[in-house]
Amino acid sequence: MPPLPDGSAFLSWLRTPRPGSPPGIWRFGHRPRPEEEPEETPTRQLLSGALIAFLVGWLFWSLLRNGYLGRWWGVPLFLLTPDSWHAGENETRDLIVYEGYNLLVGLGIMAVVGRLGRWGEVWRRFVVPLYRRPQPQQAAPEPEDDPAQWNHLRAAGAHAAADRLAAEARSGLMRDVDHSRISRAWEGVRNGRHALSTFTDEVLKDGAAACPHPSGARDLPVRQARHDLLTGQVRIGRNADDPRNPYAYRGTGLALSPELLGTSLLAVGPAGSGKTGALVRPLAESLCLHALAGRAAVVVVGPAGAGLGPDDAYDVVVRIGDPQSVYDLDLYGGATDPDEAALVLAEALAGDLTDPHPGSDSRRSTTVLAQLLGPFRAVHGRFPSVPELRGLLDGAPGPLAALRQALRDAGQEALLRELDARERQLGQPGDVGGTLADRVALLDRPAFASFFDTSGQSRPFSLKALDHPVRVRIDLPERGHADASRMLARLVLAQFTASVATRRDRSLFACLVLDDAAGVVTPEAVRGIQRLRSAGAGLVLTLRTLDDVPRPLRGPLLGATGCRVALSGLTPWDGQDFAEVWGKEWTEARDVTDRQIIAETPAGKVVHGIRRVITGKAPTARAVTVRQVERERWSASELAHGVPAGHAVLSLTTVTGEHAPPLLVDLRG
């Protein structure tokens, strides 16, 4: 029989301290640092000062012992000892008294010179590390403070469930995902969504496998990043030990969590800078783990073959353009209201054609689509397929006449007026029907013939499913269908922002990860991003350059996202936008001025001449001016040329308003 599994690794993970820290710091085993950097004497100056202090003390002691400074230092001994001791009759007593007094004086001199020479700091910095013992293993905490005892369940009366879970943890049958999932279920009991008896019965029956995810999975097939589900963090790098980083952040791990992603994240960097491998992949992996724990719903959108995780890590994989795809994409986002469907579809088809100023919208396109979708659904009980929608938008007489006759037969007089209005607008100046038809034609291709079906014969995925902890990956056919891919990305973003606003359970964090958002940012998309924070949702966007965003929308986009990442290789023009949004700060500037010294006496001129011959420079006097100035936190030039390869500069903001200044991070650490 194989040995039973050991739960020591899980218990050690669970009992590791996670102190509170500023936003973005990896809390697992973190040791807080002071806010301000302590003043530290340079090594050369410290050692030379300690040596000089020792030599001075030794010289002073030698002069005292040999009588060069007189015998005044022995006066206290003669005053405090009897006169009979001064005769020198008892050699042992004299040795003890006089040598002891000499030792006391020597120790006093050593204490004074040791304080002046900072011997204590030398000991702490150079001697103590040589004899520092390894940290002992973490001892088991008291039962009342042990998180593995599930004391919050015991306090509510669920002693049997707590005993079962504690036994599962000790035996090694519990994982971090199980702990997070059961804690999430207990939160539902406390909030009144679930009954205590139901929770207890399920725990007693299944133990650590209780309250399972609908897929039945208890972990991902593979993990490539470091995760801490107790705090919800995923580690993505290490804060550089750089003077531009606050001292409390230097050398610490950098991590992201749902409380940061709830303000949305924008990452900008050229190809190969690490957007997908160092940011998107770890975040997608972390959100999938949160989904298995019942805490999040995630939709990951990217080009096919981008390496966003294996198929087994997702519940739904939609491969648009691949005939082998099991799932389809709902073109109308699961909407039943024609006006809602028209609003979302208009954003996808013509969102990038609207005026790129923040106040613009796609109202005209929405009206055209609503004039067709409403009558069609009233007649057929469904929305039109891609070929049917293209025929209606083209204004072909056959489809419009058939729809008109069907409306007359059904007695839909109000919808007939909608169709009449659409026919009057055909061919008029400013009509966007032809443009919409051209955009729909991008989807009416042989590669997409089996997709976007509205007859009920396929398995379409709708973003209305974000009420549940679902894991979804959508592969876009970027190769050969770049325009269609950008249009589908806008469609998914529009459906996401519309769906999360109507969810009932906003404690379930919903996140859309959009790798390569070129051509996706529109005025309506920016307004949707601004509403995500209050809806318990977030968005992750990556761009190769801010030039992929219309110029009037760059400022609003950077302002709508709370977490901003500038990767190495950024252009100075992109760096200027980041420098403006990060603003300026007050800093201390030191101006050093060297002024030549003019000798006025013959002896001074001789000394200056000798000094000039030895050093090769004229004698100067240095003047230092210290003043407070306001400077950019990171300038455009520094962002373009001062960020090393594999590094990034990012600022963070939590949903509660806490923020971290721009930090230089090593994404490979």
Element (H, E) at 228: strand 226-228
Q: What is the pLDDT of residue 90?
A: 62
Helix ranges (H only) for 444-481 are none
How confident is residue 473, by pLDDT bands cut at 50, 70 and 90?
very high
- Residue of 62 and 575 predicted with greater confidence: 575
Decide: helix, strand or coil at residue 457: coil
Angle 508-514-520 from CA coordinates, rounded to 5°: 120
Q: Is 131 exposed, middle or buried (0-12, 13-18, 19+ CB in 10 A)?
A: exposed
Q: What's the whole-model pTM score?
A: 0.85
Q: How far apart are CA 102 and CA 120, in angstroms?
A: 24
How long a stretch of residues is the chain?
Answer: 669
Amino acid at 550: P
Q: Which range, of 18-22, 128-132, 340-344, averages the lowest pLDDT? A: 128-132
Which DSSP string corresponds to 480-520? T-HHHHHHHHHHHHHHHHHHHTT-S-TTSEEEEEES--TTT
Instruction: Quote the pLDDT of residue 614.
Output: 67
Instruction: Compare 113 and 469 and report the one with higher pLDDT.
Output: 469
Band of pLDDT at residue 53, cut at 50, 70 and 90: confident
Q: Which phi and psi (to 5°) does residue 143 adopt? A: -55, -35
| pLDDT band (50, 70, 90) for residue 83 | low
Residue 412 binned pLDDT confidence (cut-offs 50, 70, 90): confident
The pLDDT tens digits for 335-363 are: 889 999 999 999 999 888 877 766 656 68
| AA identity, residue 305 | G
Q: What is the mean pLDDT of residues 499-505?
A: 88
Q: Confirm if 301 and 474 have CB atoms less than 8 A apart.
A: yes
- 3-state secondary structure at position 293: coil
**Is the pLDDT assigned to residue 214 strictly greater than 80?**
yes
For 30, phi then psi, to 5°, come to -75, 140
Q: Measure the CA–CA gap between 311 and 620, rounded to whole angstroms.
A: 71
Give just the sign of the alpha carbon dihedral 488, 490, 494, 499. positive
Residue 34 in this model has a pLDDT that exceeds 90: no
**Residues whose CB falls within 8 Å of the CB of residue 70, separated by 6 or more in sequence, listed in order:** none
CA dist 227 and 282 (Å) reads 9
Residue 414 burial by Cβ neighbours in a 10 Å radius (0-12, 13-18, 19+)? exposed
The answer to whether 457 and 391 have CB atoms below 8 angstroms apart is no
When pLDDT is averaged across residues 488-510 and rounded to a whole number, the result is: 92
Integer-rounded Cα Rg, in Å, for the chain is 37
Q: How far is CA 201 from the centre of its chain?
A: 38
Which of 113-127, 185-199, 464-478, 544-558 is least confident? Answer: 113-127
Region 289-304: mean pLDDT is 94
Query: Looking at beta carbons, which pairs linking 620-625 to residues 24 or more positions away fall under 8 Å?
Result: 620/594, 620/595, 620/596, 621/594, 621/595, 621/596, 621/597, 622/592, 622/593, 622/594, 622/595, 623/592, 623/593, 623/594, 623/595, 624/590, 624/591, 624/592, 624/593, 625/590, 625/591, 625/592, 625/593
The structure tokens 């373009």 sit at 640
Cα separation of 431 and 365, whole Å?
A: 9
- Give the whole-angstrom CA distance, residue 417 versus residue 294: 48
**Residue 639 pLDDT > 70:** yes
The pLDDT assigned to 116 comes to 85
Close Cβ partners of 18 (under 8 Å, ≥ 6 residues apart) = 27, 28, 29, 30, 228, 230, 231
What span, in angstroms and rounded, lies between the C-alpha atoms of 437 and 427?
13
pLDDT of residue 599: 78
Helix and strand element counts for the chain (H, E): 23, 16
The answer to whether 444 touches 386, Cβ cutoff 8 Å, is: yes
48-52, 77-81, 295-299, 450-454: the lowest-pLDDT one: 77-81
Buried b (16+ CB within 10 A) or exposed e, 626-648: eeeeeebbbbbebbbeebeebbb
pLDDT in tens, 593-633: 877 778 778 877 777 777 777 667 777 877 888 888 888 89
Residue type, 255: A
Region 225-231: mean pLDDT is: 94
> What pLDDT shows up at residue 96?
72
- Could you give the percent of the chain with pLDDT greater than 70? 94
Instruction: Pick the more confident residue, 537 or 504.
Output: 537
| Mean pLDDT, the chain, whole residue set | 87
Confidence of residue 1 (pLDDT cuts 50, 70, 90): very low
In this predicted structure, the answer to whether residue 4 has a pLDDT above a threshold of 70 is no
Q: Which token pair is 56?
A: 């001075």
- DSSP bridge partners of 268: 543, 566
Mean pLDDT along residues 107-128: 86
Question: With bands split at pLDDT 50, 70 and 90, how would you rate the model's confidence at 431?
Answer: confident
Give residue 264's pLDDT band: very low, low, confident or very high (50, 70, 90): very high
